[in-house]
Structure 1
Amino acid sequence: MEFLIKSVINIRWLFDTILRLVQSNYLIILIVIGIISVCLYWLFFVPLNWNKHVDDWLCQKGDNGYRGKYKCATINRLRKARKVGAKELPPPYPNGWYGILESSSIKPGESTFVSCLGEQFVVFRSEEGTAFILDAYCPHLGANLGIGGRINGDTIICPFHQWSFQGTDGLCTNIPYSKNIPPATRIRKWISTEQNGFVFLWYNAESSELPWTLPISPEVENNGFVYQGRNEFLVNCHIQEIPENGADLAHFKAIHNESIIAGGYNPKNSIFRWLGQHSWHASWDYTREKHIAEIRLKHSLKFYQKINLFEIDVVGKQIGPAFVHLTLKSSIFGECQIFQTVTPIEPLVQKVVHRFYATRKMSPILKILIYGESVMFERDMNMWNQKLYRKSPILVPEDASIKKFRKWYAQFYTENSKVFGLRDNNDW
């Protein structure tokens, strides 16, 4: 009884306190301060994540106007349509470095399964933090090491019969129920490196070709720039068509002029298309390092095509077939960096990831930038998802950079590069 009386008194005291706070406006002030604090924390410390996959994009409303009703049929119809002119397609997996996994997605002592580039990999991180990439399947009875594989030091232990394989060379070091390890029992170890927020794999159809060095961003590696967010897209196209966009200088004005508020899907019909006009001046060329090309952009945002609000200078380095390092500089907002990786999940399905980095004080601006870049990429994505690859396109003199790009990109295809093959089930 005494406890009950004390509880009633405490509750009454609480209500009286709240009432006094409301009457004196203190509670309202505390609520406002709390809301502002949460908003500021989100602006400066919560990375923004934006995902858009091919099935979401193709079925904005679905067939017959119903969103997603015939999503699978829509995707299958598109994939079959893409086989028109399939003989013109280049090999699906060019030679080079591929960022197959974001570093943040795998912690020390963890493993994961990754299927891409026509191969299956297990990516695991040792207890000391080093990432390794091996073939996914155990040579014993074929268990998938990436699903249930246990980490011990720098080895991965098969979940089926507990065979152990070193991450450094793929060699089998232990079979717990046998003293005899068959000679040369190992899993293929893939060349890899980790930097700029990604675990990279070296893929090359010619085993004799040595990997070139991936450049490091000092600002990111030294934590001068912090991670601000990412976006991720699954795109239905050949891998070459994505970097080729940078050399297609005419497309910037054609599809990227309308305001980002107009969205990524059919912006020319949006009532918001006039709320800020984007202007682009672009050039593309290769560099002295044969595996690196460079695009330079000057982007201007204008209000009603008259008032220039601000300008951004962009330098994008295309490093090999599937990695881009973008540096954006503005006299008003400062500098930020974007890393783009393109990974073929299937011959005509590309996973594209952008990771954004800048100083902490630029975090609110980066939220807007991530939104804007995602919208602009979706406009390209709408083209890629619906188009065919033309091996010998009809070009005009103003398209010279496209011809130059294709000549440069051809170096990543070699004699033993895999070629396309159509399956009997009408699927890639």
Structure 2
Amino acid sequence: MLNLSMKPTGWFQIGWSDELAPGAVKPMKYLGHDLVAFRSEAGELAVLDAHCHHMGAHLGYGGKVKGDCIACPYHGWQWNTKGENALIPYQDHPIRKKLRKWDVVEQHGIMFLWHDPAGGPPRDGWLPDVFDHPEHPADPADFYPCYPDAVVLAPEEPIHPQLITENAADTMHFRFAHNAPEDPLLLAFDTSTAIWKSTMGFRSKVTKEVAMLLHARNAGVGLNFSIFDHPVLARRLVLSCTPIDDEKSDLRVSYYFRRDPKSPEHMPESVRQMARHTRVLFEEDAVIWRHQKFVQRPIYARQDVAGYTALRTWCEQFYEATGSTQGPLKVLEDAGEPVNCNLL
């Protein structure tokens, strides 16, 4: 049974790279921690614990970048991208105590932060790449950047990351939530590593044959990378749900649309229309997530059993935090074991 902590282990999106220019500072709060993100004058991204060790000022509100350091707005103490105290303006030597430096990675214009409730380093193989897919690689240069034209930001939503993760095994909602003409098929899934891998097949309304494949790779709870394999509708997608605290999360959607050879540098209006439609698609799911109760012991239909049970078992490895609340998720505790409605 999942403990549904709002502080799971894994990688989480904290924004888009172009939101933070060299010399810029941004206050953040994620996974219950006050953070400050800044980019050095040379362009290096750093995320540190937010409060200066001197008198506790929040470096994200009024802090200034000086070279590779962020200077406290209160007394000017400087902290470098490693979290080290580099300068006390009115003292001839810095202190040894560091601010916590968080592990971050930038990938195709997205900023990711590593979280381990025990404080451990990033684990090998826990962050896939939406373009460096083993079976379906692509050159990122062949796609428009996702930011700022093909993204969705839904801040401070009362949504648990488990809910978006369950889409990886859910074929049957597409017809009802997204008006798909036919029910997709869950063709394959693999739970043998820390990356969930699955393939869905979307059928043509006319031929009833599979016309588009959706290859999904989930990185822990709250981070999904998807590839839409279709001659015309080819695109790549990153969907993320990053807990802020025990009550709310920031949700983001990032689409990478293939460049039009006639307009390789500037996204044409036809692609912009598809990009704007991403908000509509997001809301079709979000309106359910915002009011959904989580059923620990579902009554499964036959189509649900294999995918859902495998996914939930796979998710257990990411809920390592103990004593943490389940946040906004309302849980229905049904008696008995999960059952298949076809057996009733």
Q: TM-score range by the shorter chain?
A: 0.7 to 0.9
Shift of 1:330: 2.0
Query: What is the match of residue 314 of structure 2?
Result: 408
CA 1:243 to 1:237, structure 2 compared with 1: closer, same or farther past 3 Å?
same
Q: Could you list the runs of 4 or more consecutive aligned residues of structure 1 that deviate by over 4 angstroms after TM superposition?
A: 218-222, 362-365
Quote the Cα distance in structure 1 between the aligned partners of 2:219 and 2:253. Answer: 15
Quote the Cα distance in structure 2 between the aligned partners of 1:285 and 1:334. Answer: 21
Give TM-score, length-normalised by structure 1: 0.66
Query: What is the match of residue 85 of structure 2?
Result: 172
CA 1:347 to 1:196, structure 2 compared with 1: closer, same or farther past 3 Å?
farther
What 5-or-longer segments of structure 1 have no aligned partner?
A: 1-86, 258-276, 423-428
Over the residues paired in the alignment, what is the CA RMSD in angstroms? 2.8
Q: What SS does the corresponding residue of 1:360 show, helix, strand or coil?
A: coil
Specify which of 337, 343, 358 is matched with residue 242 of structure 2: 343
Deviations 1:253-306 (A, max 9, x none): 33222xxxxxxxxxxxxxxxxxxx63241317553661111232333565xxx5
Counterpart residue identity of residue 311, structure 2: F
Q: Is the 8 A contact 2:13 2:112 kept in 1?
A: yes
Give the % identical residues.
Answer: 27
Quote the Cα distance in structure 2 between the aligned partners of 1:102 and 1:281. Answer: 31
CA 1:246 to 1:284, structure 2 compared with 1: closer, same or farther past 3 Å?
farther
Query: What is the match of residue 212 of structure 1?
Result: 124
Q: What SS does the corresponding residue of 1:346 show, helix, strand or coil?
A: coil
Query: What is the match of residue 230 of structure 1?
Result: 151
Deviations 1:73-117 (A, max 9, x none): xxxxxxxxxxxxxx9861112100011121110000111001121
Quote the Cα distance in structure 1 between the aligned partners of 2:72 and 2:187. Answer: 48
Q: What SS does the corresponding residue of 2:314 show, helix, strand or coil?
A: helix
CA 1:354 to 1:390, structure 2 compared with 1: closer, same or farther past 3 Å?
same
Specify which of 20, 26, 31 is matched with residue 106 of structure 1: 20
Q: Is the 8 A contact 2:246 2:326 kept in 1?
A: no
Tell me, yes or no, if structure 1 residue 195 matches structure 2 residue 101.
no
Quote the Cα distance in structure 2 between the aligned partners of 1:311 and 1:373. Answer: 21
Tell me, yes or no, if structure 1 residue 128 matches structure 2 residue 46.
no
Q: Is the 8 A contact 1:284 1:293 kept in 2?
A: no
Shift of 1:354: 1.2
CA 1:207 to 1:373, structure 2 compared with 1: closer, same or farther past 3 Å?
same
Mapping of residues 26-425 of structure 1, within 5 Å? 90-167=4-81, 169-182=82-95, 184-208=96-120, 210-213=122-125, 214-216=127-129, 217=131, 222-227=140-145, 228-234=149-155, 235-257=157-179, 278-283=181-186, 286-287=189-190, 290-300=193-203, 302=205, 311-331=211-231, 333=232, 335-361=234-260, 363-400=268-305, 401-414=307-320, 416-420=321-325
Count residues in correspondence: 309
Counterpart residue identity of residue 379, structure 1: E
Larger Rg: 1
Shift of 1:412: 0.3
Quote the Cα distance in structure 1 between the aligned partners of 2:80 and 2:121. Answer: 24
Q: Is the 8 A contact 1:166 1:172 kept in 2?
A: yes
Quote the Cα distance in structure 2 between the aligned partners of 1:280 and 1:141. Answer: 58
Q: Is the 8 A contact 1:325 1:339 kept in 2?
A: yes
Structure with the larger helix share:
1
Shift of 1:319: 1.8
Give TM-score, length-normalised by structure 2: 0.80
Shift of 1:356: 1.6
Shift of 1:311: 4.1
Counterpart residue identity of residue 53, structure 2: P
Counterpart residue identity of residue 175, structure 1: I
Counterpart residue identity of residue 299, structure 1: F
Q: Is the 8 A contact 1:313 1:328 kept in 2?
A: yes
CA 1:127 to 1:220, structure 2 compared with 1: closer, same or farther past 3 Å?
farther
Q: Is the 8 A contact 1:286 1:408 kept in 2?
A: no
Shift of 1:338: 1.4
Shift of 1:194: 0.9
Q: Is the 8 A contact 2:225 2:237 kept in 1?
A: yes
Q: Is the 8 A contact 2:214 2:228 kept in 1?
A: yes
CA 1:372 to 1:101, structure 2 compared with 1: closer, same or farther past 3 Å?
closer
Q: Is the 8 A contact 1:238 1:347 kept in 2?
A: no
